[in-house]
Each structure stands twice: as structure tokens, then as C-alpha cells.
Amino acid sequence: MHRLLVLCLSFLALALLSGRAAATTALYEQGVAAFEKKDWPAAREAFEAVIEKDQTISNDLLFNLGNTLFREEKPGQAALWYRRALLLDPRDAAARQNLRLLQ
């Protein structure tokens, strides 16, 4: 009986985590779609929402947020996010190049 309870709780936790991952994936995709439409504020809001909701942050997310802030003419904030992207992947040539352009 104890093993069955542990197994059920494990499945419940997995379901909750996968639901959260799906929600953050949808937010990220909304951000990408908004960026492609050149709707910089909507893209920024979606990317920032992903960061607020999810503790697993990807290099791509940080890089895209940097690009969005650059398009919004916020170079200081863009540089911050490019630097954060480089912390996750120091070999990211695009983030490094964009950071150089800002300096």
C-alpha cells in the first residue's frame, strides 16, 4: 500500500511539472511569435513571464530577451541579458557579437 501511494504521488508530481513546462513553452513560443511580428513589448513580456514562472532558463531565452530589449532601444538592459546568456554558454558567438556591438 505504501509503495502504491508513493507511486501515485510521483505520477502526480510529474504531471504537475509537465503541465508547468508546457505553459512556459507556450509563453516562450508566444514571445518568439511576437518578436517575428516586431511586437517588441509583447515579446519582452512573454520572455519575462517565462523567467518569472520557470527556474530552468535557457541560453536562447536570455539571448532573445536581449535582442528584444535591443529592438526596444534599451541597450543597457540588452547587454545585461547577453551577458547572462554568455554565463550559461560562454561559447555563444551571437551573444558575444551582439554584446560587442553594444559596447
Query: SS in 3 state form for the chain?
Result: CHHHHHHHHHHHHHHHHHHHHHHHHHHHHHHHHHHHCCCHHHHHHHHHHHHHHCCCCCHHHHHHHHHHHHHCCCHHHHHHHHHHHHHHCCCCHHHHHHHHHHC
pLDDT in tens, 50-59: 999 876 689 9
Q: CA-CA distance, 62 to 28, in Å (whole number)? A: 11
**Mean pLDDT value across residues 75-92:** 97
Q: CA-CA distance, 77 to 82, in Å (whole number)? A: 9
pLDDT in tens, 64-83: 999 999 999 999 999 999 99
Those residues with Cβ within 8 angstroms of residue 65's Cβ, 6 or more apart along the chain or in another chain: 44, 47, 48, 51, 81
